[in-house]
């Protein structure tokens, strides 16, 4: 098979070895590989103290050993192989299978894809002709750029700008947006690795939820908060439906006892997502997903849609989720049901319970039509090339 080009994917797996975050990056790595690109995965510790989370000790550390073992297992299990490495800045060394060949691999790369913008663009990356900043956190990234000149400068080290926020790209978001040529692209799902599973017999609606991912942002007097802010309106939801509602919850600020008193089943988010397999199984054991979005996504009408929800759909699990404005590009009503308030959330849950098989079939159709990595990434690459009138040689 002819190689279409070489793409360096910068990601976040070694530093945070959990299944959901891993799949967020794997869908790009595996999807691009399936399209015929030579894909190299690189990760950078950045220059922070203790950049790596070690699940065995439950805290951050400078030692990447646990994350390196995890990454090796993940890449082997997924069939990606050994085309990856990790830069440990504190020791000024590359680790991982490509440690001795990173410079050589970078030298002929065509595209750099900085997923979520959580890796620095080191000097050795700056000669890659196409450098893509992939904004997966719309509203919050734009506010930081507006408030922090160093963040703006970092983003402008790239020369293509992709966002999960359709409203950011088309100008319909209710938020000032830095003047960059934003291109909308949703999360891809590598459907060869995410296949529909038989529906469970019970009616458990689940969500994987980080209560407070980081600080609330304020811009022009408007607050843009976390899921904790969005969730306030829905705390009493278990009292409005007989469906079981389960949260795989992370975050030390989460009011676990209050949620349980209200009727939510709360399980450990870190334990549920400890591996890619446990994460996949949690989604598959659900009848459907019930989820709120970050308050900032909703307030800014970003049009963002969750990468996790896309995986629920691909597994054949309907999604009942809070609207961010994604209805402009996603079909809703069957398989995917959006809501704006508590009444709408109840209606969505009950609609799925009345005919789960129909909604499950529609969920798979949406995943195949909208999130198939072959389609999403082909279109994304085409848009990247067209936006700069750039071409690069094909390799055989």
Q: Give, for all 396 residues of the chain, the pLDDT tens digit.
A: 456 899 999 999 999 999 999 999 999 999 999 999 999 999 999 999 999 999 999 999 999 999 999 999 999 999 999 999 999 999 999 999 999 999 999 999 999 999 999 999 999 999 999 999 999 999 999 999 999 999 999 999 999 999 999 999 999 999 988 889 999 999 999 999 999 999 998 889 999 999 999 999 999 999 999 999 999 999 999 999 999 999 999 999 999 999 999 999 999 999 999 999 999 999 999 999 999 999 999 999 999 999 999 999 999 999 999 999 999 999 999 999 999 999 999 999 999 999 999 999 999 999 999 999 999 999 999 999 998 644 433 333
| 320, 309 contact by CB (below 8 A) | no
In the structure encoding, which two tokens stand for residue 105, read together? 């691999």
Q: Pick from 143, 180, 189, 148: which is nearest to 162 by CA?
A: 180
Give the closest residue to 227 by CA, choosing from 176, 189, 269.
Answer: 269
Strand partners, 161: 133, 182
Q: What would the 3-class secondary structure string for 323-347 be? A: CCCHHHCCCCCCCEEEECCHHHHHH
Report the 3 state secondary structure along 284-302.
Answer: HCCCEEEECCCHHHHHCCC
Angle between the 65-78 and 19-34 helix axes, to the nearest 10 degrees?
40
Residue 248 forms beta bridges with which residues?
Answer: 208, 267
Asked if 269 and 253 touch (Cβ cutoff 8 Å), the reply is no
Q: Note whether 166 and 184 are within 8 A (CB).
A: yes
Question: Tokens 């529909």 identify what position?
Answer: 196
Q: How many CB atoms lie within 10 A of CB 2?
A: 7
DSSP per residue over 343-376, as a string? HHHHHHHHHHHH-HHHHHHHHHHHIIIIIBHHHH
What pLDDT, on a 0 to 100 scale, did the predictor assign at position 203?
Answer: 82
Quote the tokens at residue 226.
């976390």
CB 8 within 8 A of CB 51: no
Query: Which pair of structure tokens corresponds to residue 210?
Result: 């980080």
Say if CB 363 and CB 339 are below 8 A apart.
no
Fold of the domain spanning 204-371: Rossmann fold (3.40.50)
Q: What is the pTM of this model?
A: 0.95
Q: What is the pLDDT of residue 388?
A: 64
Q: Do domains 6-189+372-388 and 204-371 have the same CATH topology?
A: yes
C-alpha distances (whole Å) from 282 to each of 24, 70, 148, 268 are 16, 19, 38, 12
Structure tokens at 259: 């949620």
* Domain chopping of the chain, boundaries: 6-189+372-388, 204-371
Residues in contact with 333: Cβ distance below 8 Å, sequence separation at least 6, in sequence order: none
Distance CA 27, CA 311 (A): 10
Cα→Cα distances 352→326, 343, 361, 379, Å: 20, 15, 11, 32
- Rg of the chain taking only CA atoms, in angstroms: 20
Per-state percent for the chain, helix, strand, coil, to nearest 5: 40, 20, 40
Two structure tokens written together for 61 = 């550390």
Q: For the structural domain made of 6-189+372-388, what CATH number should be given?
A: 3.40.50.2000
Q: Are 320 and 289 in contact (CB under 8 A)?
A: yes
Place of tokens 């359709």: 166
pLDDT of residue 396: 30
Residue entry with tokens 């019930």: 290
Residue environment code for 372-389, b if the CB has 16+ CB neighbours within 10 A, otherwise e: bbebbbeebbeebeebee
| ∠ CA 284-287-288, rounded to 5° | 90
Give the per-residue pLDDT at 295: 98
Number of H helices, E strands in the chain: 15, 18
């Amino acid at each position: 098979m002819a190689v279409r080009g070489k793409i360096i994917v910068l990601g976040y797996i070694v530093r945070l070895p959990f299944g959901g975050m891993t799949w967020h990056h794997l869908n790009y790595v595996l999807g691009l590989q399936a399209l015929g690109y030579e894909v190299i995965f690189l990760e950078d510790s950045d220059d922070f103290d203790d950049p790596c989370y070690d699940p065995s000790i439950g805290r951050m550390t400078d030692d990447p050993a646990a994350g390196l073992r995890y990454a090796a297992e993940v890449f082997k299990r997924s069939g990606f192989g050994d085309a990856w490495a990790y830069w440990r800045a504190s020791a000024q060394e590359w680790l991982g299978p490509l440690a001795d060949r990173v410079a050589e691999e970078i030298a002929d790369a065509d595209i750099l894809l900085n997923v979520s913008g959580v890796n620095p663009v080191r000097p050795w990356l700056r000669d890659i002709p196409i450098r893509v900043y992939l904004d997966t956190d719309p509203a919050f990234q734009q506010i930081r750029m507006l408030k922090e000149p160093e963040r703006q400068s970092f983003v402008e080290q790239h020369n293509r700008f992709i966002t999960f926020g359709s409203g950011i790209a088309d100008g319909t978001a209710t938020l000032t947006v830095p003047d960059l040529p934003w291109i909308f692209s949703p999360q891809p799902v590598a459907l060869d690795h995410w296949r529909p599973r038989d529906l469970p017999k019970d009616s458990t609606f689940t969500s994987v939820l980080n209560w407070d991912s980081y600080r609330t942002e304020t811009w022009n007097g408007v607050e843009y908060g976390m899921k904790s802010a969005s969730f306030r309106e829905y705390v009493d939801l278990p009292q409005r439906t007989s469906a079981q509602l389960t949260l795989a919850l992370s975050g030390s600020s989460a009011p676990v006892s209050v949620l349980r008193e209200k009727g939510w089943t709360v399980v450990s988010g870190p334990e549920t997502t400890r591996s890619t397999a446990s994460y996949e199984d949690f989604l598959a054991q659900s009848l459907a997903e019930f989820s709120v979005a970050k308050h900032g996504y909703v307030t800014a009408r970003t049009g963002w849609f969750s990468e996790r929800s896309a995986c629920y759909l691909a597994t054949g699990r309907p999604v009942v989720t809070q609207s961010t404005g994604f209805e402009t590009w996603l079909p809703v009503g069957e398989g995917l049901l959006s809501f704006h308030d508590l009444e709408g959330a109840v209606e969505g849950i009950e609609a799925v319970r009345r005919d789960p098989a129909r909604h499950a079939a529609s969920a798979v159709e949406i995943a195949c039509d909208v999130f198939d990595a072959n389609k999403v990434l082909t279109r994304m690459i085409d848009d990247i090339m067209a936006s700069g009138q750039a071409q690069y040689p094909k390799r055989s």
